[in-house]
Structure 1
Amino acid sequence: MKSVFRDYIDGIHAMLPLLPGAVPFGMIAGAVAAEAGFGPAAGIGQSVIIYAGTAQLAATQLVAEAAPALVVVLTGLVVNLRFAMYSASLAPHFIGLSFRRRALLAYLMTDQSYALTILRHGADETVTAITKARFYLGGAIAMWVVWLGATATGFMLGSRIPPSWSLDFFVPLSFLALLVPGIRDRATAIAAITGAIVAVAASGLVFNLGLFAGAACGIAAGYIVEARRGKKDDIR
C-alpha cells in the first residue's frame, strides 16, 4: 500500500515546481471570463469541462465577440491539436489499463503532466503501466485542483486584477520550466531553438497557427539532426 501512495506522491512532488506558473495563468482565464460577462457557472465551470488554458482564453474571447459557435469550437480544437500528439506518445506507456482509467488520464492531460511523465518514465521500460499512471495522476490531479482554484479566484476578482501585476509573464515561464530539462543533446537543442524562432516569426498567423508551425519545424529540425547523427554512427 505504501508503494501505491508513493507513486502518487512522487507525481505530486514532481509537479510542485510547476504549480506556481499555473496560478497566474488560471487567474487570467478567470478574469477574462468575468470581463466577457460570463456567469459563475460558465466562467468557472469551463475550467471543469474544457480544462485547457489556451483554448479557454481563445474560446472566451470569441464568445465575447459574438463569433459563430462553429468558429469557437473549431478554434478550440485547433489550439488543442497538440494533445493528439501527446496522446499518441503516451499511449504505449498505458497499454493494459482499463478504458475508464485511460479516459481519466486523457481528461487530466496538460503540457506539464505529459512532459513530466515522459521525462520520468519515457525511456524506462521496466516501470509498469499502472505505476506510470499513478505518477501521472498524482501530478495531474494537483494541477487540476490548482487550476480550478486559480480560475475561480480570477473570476471573482475579475477586472480588479491590476495590469501592473503582469500575470501573463508567468505563463511562458511555466513552459520554459518544462522545456529546459528536456534539452539533453544537440538534436533537442536545435529543435527547441528552431521551434522558438519559427513560432515568433509566424506569430501573426490566424488561429495561433504560428505555434503549430514552430512545433512542426522544431520536430523536423530535431529529426534531421538525429538522422544525420545516426548515419555518422553507422559509417563508423
Structure 2
Amino acid sequence: MPDRTARDAFTRGVRALIPLIPGVIPFGLLTGVMAINLGMSPATTMGMTLLFYSGSAQMVALQLLNMGAVPMAIVVTALVINLRFIMYSASLAPHLHHLPRRWTWPVSYMLSDQSYALCSLKLSSGELGQYAHYYYAGTAVAMWLSWQLSVLAGVYLGASIPETWSLSFAIPLSFLALLVPGIRSAASLGAALVGGLLAVFAVDMPYNLGLVSASIGGVMAGLLIETVRQKNMSNALTDDVERDTQ
C-alpha cells in the first residue's frame, strides 16, 4: 500500500530497520570495547565512529592500529573494504539522483548494508511511490543512530560484558537476515551462492579483498544468469511468433 505522506514513508522505513537492530548492537559493543582497550579516549572513539560510519572498516582499522601499521596503510585498507558502497551507490543512483544536494549528501553518508538491502528491491519495483526517498531515509537514520549508540554503549558498558556471551556471533546472523528475504529469483540465488562461496574461499586474502572479490563475483554471476534467462525468453518468444506465422 503506497504511503500517503512523507512521514508515513519515513516511519515505515524506521519500522523496517528495527528488527535488524539486535544484530547491530553486538557489533557496536565490540567496536567500542576494542577502541577503549587500545587506549583511545571516548571522544576519539566516537569521533572515529562518526567519521568512518562503517563497522567492518572501523574494526579493521582498529586492528591495524593495534599492530602499529602506518596511517596510509590504514586509510587504503579502509577504502578497499568500503569499495562495495560504490556498487550500492550505482544501484541506487537511478532512483535518488534527482534529489537536491541537501538530500543526496546526508543519505550518501548514511548508506549502509542494511539500508541498501531493505531498499534496493523496493526502489527498483517502484512500490514505494513518490515518497521512496523518505522510506530510505527512515532506514538510514535508524541504522545510523543504532550504530552510534551501540558503539557509545560499548565504550562505557561493553568491558563489563563477559566474553562467554560470544556477541560476535550475532554479526553474521544479522547479515543472513538481510540476505534470505532478498532471494527472489534464480539470478539473486546464483549471486548469493557464488558470492558466499567466494567469500569462504577468499577469507584469507589480505586487506579484506575477499569481501570485494566475493561482491564482484556475486554480481557477475547474477548478471550472467539474468542475461541467459532473458535470452531464453526472447528465443522462446521468437519461436512462438514464427510458429504463429506459419
TM-score when normalising by structure 1: 0.94
Distance 1:90 1:166 in 2: 35
User: Quick check: which has more Rg, 1 or 2?
Assistant: 2
Q: 1:88 aligns with which of 77, 87, 90?
A: 90
SS in 1 for 2:69: coil
Whether 1:17 and 2:19 are equivalent positions in the alignment is yes
Instruction: Give the structure 2 partner of residue 208 of structure 1.
Output: 208
Check whether the contact 2:81–2:207 (CA below 8 A) recurs between aligned residues.
yes
Q: Is the 8 A contact 1:108 1:141 kept in 2?
A: yes
Matches within 5 A, 1:138-149: 138-149=138-149
| Aligned-pair Cα RMSD in Å | 1.6
Secondary structure of 1:122's aligned partner: helix
1:6 is aligned to 8
Report Cα offsets for 1:21-76 as digits up to 9, x if no partner: 11111111111111111111111221212111001101111112221110011011
Partner of 1:104: 106
SS in 1 for 2:203: coil
CA distance, structure 2, for counterparts of residue 228 and residue 26 of structure 1:
42
Tell me whether 1:70 sits opposite 2:68 in the alignment: no
| Aligned-partner Cα distance in 2 for 1:126–1:207 | 37
Q: Gapped runs of 5+ residues in structure 1?
A: none
Between 145-154 and 159-168, the greater mean CA deviation after superposition: 159-168
Report what 2:123 is aligned to: 121
Which residue does the alignment assign to 1:224?
A: 224
Deviations 1:67-115 (CA, angstroms, capped at 9, x unpaired) = 1110011011001011111111111111321112100001111011111
Give the drift of 1:125.
7.5
Letter in 2 for 1:132: A
Once the two structures are TM-superposed, the CA of residue 126 in structure 1 deviates from its matched residue by: 7.7
Pair 1:185 & 2:182 matched: no
C-alpha distance in 1 between matches for 2:65 and 2:223: 39
Once residues 96 and 187 of structure 2 are traced to their aligned partners in structure 1, the CA distance between those partners, rounded to angstroms, is 27
Q: Deviations over 1:152-200 (max 9, x none)?
A: 1111135433221111111111111111111011121111111111110
Select between 94-103 and 72-81 the one with higher mean Cα deviation. 94-103
* TM superposition score normalised by structure 2: 0.90
Indicate yes or no: 2:63 matched with 1:61.
yes
